[in-house]
Amino acid sequence: MGIAGNKQTLSNRFRADYCGLLSPARELSPVRLAGWVHRKRDHGGLIFIDLRDHTGLCQLVIQPEHHELFTQAEQLHAESVICVEGIVVPRAEGAVNPRLASGEIEVMVSLIAVESHAQPLPFPVADEVQTSEELRLKYRFIDLRREKIHDNIIFRSRVTAAIRHYLEEKDFIEIQTPILTSSSPEGARDFLVPSRLHPGKFYALPQAPQQFKQLLMVSGFPRYFQIAPCFRDEDARADRSPGEFYQVDMEMAFIEQSDLFAILEGMIEHLTRTMSQKCITQFPFPRISYKEVMNRFGTDKPDLRIPLEIQDVTPLFVGSGFKVFANNTVAGSCVKALVLKGRGNESRLFYDKAEKRAKELGSGGLAYIQFKAEGPKGPVVKFLLEADLSTLKSHLGLETGDVVFFGAGKWESTCKIMGGMRSWFGDLFTLDKEELSFCWIVDFPMFEYNEEAKKIDFSHNPFSMPQGEMEALENMPPLDILAYQYDIVCNGIELSSGAIRNHKPEIMYKAFGIAGYSREEVDQRFGHMIEAFKLGAPPHGGIAPGLDRLVMILRDELNIREVIAFPMNQQAQDLMMSAPSEVTLAQLRELHLKVELPKKEEGKG
RNA sequence: GGAGCUGUAGCUCAGUUUGGUUAGAGCGCCUGCCUGUCACGCAGGAGGUCGCGGGUUCGAACCCCGUCAGCUCCGCCA
């Protein structure tokens, strides 16, 4: 137990002292300890017990002179809860255990009171062997005794405390917003809660306190924050828990994008410096436009530590003899290249695997050229002229021994495929896990073209302020309009999105008009927001970094469950509490609900 | 909704490629021995519907089909 505090002061009949805090300073003084039997070593004539509490471990010694005490100790099992009294004694020279904080001393026990006999556990606490997720989640209360995850939860508490402290210093006000609220028409699927008092009507759990925090700005609170639970009925990922998660939800009035960046950078720098050994690559965080990040990294959440960049080679293939590339030199399409220095002489398998990955990412294939000492090699070489190859070489800075991979097609999908390859090839490099490479992704487009619906849609939050405001909406081609919409990204993980909001009703009507909504429809769907903005709304903006992801990054965890005390599994079930579960007919009746399950298909599968 | 990986003792895993007597190991558990260990040591013992169902076969943990569960990815998701 590495990171628990040292301000344990409570002294009562159970304990007056703490295992991890004992040191030679307490030599020969009587102590009263309580905790779990971490390990027992029974030598027949002498028994050692490692006692564990929240602060750490301490070795107890039980000598055979007290027969009753010795018999008690003999019968103890791992994870039983005991309270002991004894005397702190220095360990003999050579018997010191440098791996234990309390390793210079041990406690000669004079009294043992067993508070709880533990039966054999489904999995060991002391040996932190890999255990199946299923068992760990079912017996989460045992899993949480294990040092690593126990420390993660303590660390998370420290992070939230530090965030509160930092933001309160900056005049932020913490305000709780409702959990039972109304369904919002945009975004993820809602969790619904039936209303007993209003038959046939439902509350929805908030996907985020988005509208509330904006309304708090209208109410004149200049800076709001909340460690806010958010509920979205969407599927899980390693970095995304199903159902519910926490955001450090923030909103500020009378600010511009750069003001918000400065405050958030300050908070993250503070957390990193005070809570970790990690180091931030660049400060202030680099700002990269959406278009640039897609062109260079092929994703809007790049891991900037990977020393690879995608390059554009579209102009080089205008009129090329290789039709697949030449056909993608038209507007809206592109040809992209990704160079791997010194990887031009790998086995055929290396390139085949890369192509397989590209196909998994949705590409038709993965053209490549190996620049070997004996000349260029690869499936597309035969389509290219000598001149094309040398232009390529000088344009991309290619040398003998290098390989270049190509992607061609529609701009966005090609960028994404090459971005997927960039992060796949990222495994070839050793990334410094003590490095936090933060960046802001800015200048997201306000609108995008929806191919299926053949219409213009909002590409992100419809309440974001368009850059250039009304003038831009009236005069610019819609797809060229940018929004004050930004993401903060660290090491390939998106921590949060945020935006400067649109607080002007007329601009909102205009923006919704471009996306095909009439004034009446907007009033119907977002009437209360628009109404609020007609009654005196300050300019405002905000962001909401994911707390779980922030803790993951600071603790080097790859799975979000490792930083959540009681997480659900991938199927959004709580295996410990058996949620979700069926309810009684009486409960359903009171809520005016009737369950109709889908019929299972008969016969063969 | 789709794809991949995994499923053998309480736990972690070997055995499956190439079907063949009674399915193994370490830890844990039970019994005994052991006064300086710290993953204590030593001896003995118990513990299995090989996820489940069906099929092929003289014979299935192993091959085939289906199904369930867990994880990872795509879709989805601020």
DSSP assignment of A161-213:
HHHHHHHHHTT-EE----SSB---SSSSPPPEEE-SSSTT-EEE--S-SHHHH
A583 touches strand B (CB under 7 A): no
pLDDT tens, residue by residue, A498-554: 999 999 999 999 999 998 889 998 898 888 889 999 999 999 999 999 999 999 999
d(CA A32, CA A225): 43
Give the rounded percent of residues in chain A with a pLDDT score beyond 70.
97
d(CA A546, CA A278): 19
d(CA A29, CA A36): 22
Task: Select from A238, A317, A293, A581 the least CA-distant residue to A439.
Answer: A293
β pairing state of A173-174 and A223-232: parallel
Interface predicted TM-score (ipTM) of this complex, two decimals? 0.90
Protein chain A, residues 54-113, with a C-beta closer than 7 Å to any atom of nucleic acid strand B: 59, 61, 63-64, 77-78, 91-92, 94-97, 99-100, 103, 106
A124 touches strand B (CB under 7 A): yes
A185 touches strand B (CB under 7 A): no
Q: Note the pLDDT of residue A462.
A: 87
Q: Note the pLDDT of residue A567.
A: 95
Reduced to 3 states (helix: H, G, I; strand: E, B; else coil), residue A105 is: strand
d(CA A34, CA A51): 8
Confidence bin at A604 (pLDDT 50/70/90): very low
Q: Note the pLDDT of residue A258.
A: 94
Nearest nt by C1' to A108 Cα: B36
A319 touches strand B (CB under 7 A): no
Tokens of A395: 């344009």
Q: Please, what's the b/e burial string for A442-459 (b: 16 or more CB within 10 A of its CB; e: otherwise)?
A: bbbbbbbeeeeeeebebb
Q: Note the pLDDT of residue A511.
A: 93
Q: Which helix (H) or strand (E) holds A532?
A: helix A519-533
Protein chain A, residues 512-571, with a C-beta closer than 7 Å to any atom of nucleic acid strand B: 544, 559, 561, 569-571
Nearest nt by C1' to A38 Cα: B38
Reduced to 3 states (helix: H, G, I; strand: E, B; else coil), residue A452 is: coil
CA A278-A282-A288 angle, 5° bins? 125
Give the rounded percent of residues in chain A with a pLDDT score beyond 90.
73
d(CA A466, CA A521): 20
A248 touches strand B (CB under 7 A): no
> A69-78, A410-419, A554-563, A591-600: which range is least confident on average?
A591-600
In this structure, what DSSP letter does residue A577 have? T
Mean pLDDT confidence for A57-76: 93
Mean pLDDT confidence for A103-119: 94
Q: Note the pLDDT of residue A184.
A: 74
Protein chain A, residues 10-39, with a C-beta closer than 7 Å to any atom of nucleic acid strand B: 39
In this structure, what DSSP letter does residue A317 have? G
Mean pLDDT confidence for A33-41: 96
Confidence bin at A601 (pLDDT 50/70/90): very low
Assess whether pLDDT exceeds 80 at residue A556. yes
pLDDT tens, residue by residue, A241-258: 999 999 999 999 999 999
Q: Note the pLDDT of residue A281.
A: 93
SS (H, E, C) A394-406: HHHCCCCCCEEEE
Interatomic distance A134 CA / B69 C1' (Å): 9
Mean pLDDT over all residues of chain A? 91
d(CA A442, CA A484): 7
Reduced to 3 states (helix: H, G, I; strand: E, B; else coil), residue A218 is: helix
pLDDT tens, residue by residue, A358-372: 877 778 788 899 999
A130 touches strand B (CB under 7 A): yes
A 10 A CB-CB count for A538 gives 16
Q: Which helix (H) or strand (E) holds A129?
A: none
Assess whether pLDDT exceeds 90 at residue A313. yes
Protein chain A, residues 441-460, with a C-beta closer than 7 Å to any atom of nucleic acid strand B: 444, 460
Interatomic distance A568 CA / B5 C1' (Å): 21
Confidence bin at A595 (pLDDT 50/70/90): confident
Assess whether pLDDT exceeds 70 at residue A99. yes
Bases along strand B below 7 A from a protein CB = 1, 10-13, 26-30, 33-41, 66-67, 69-78
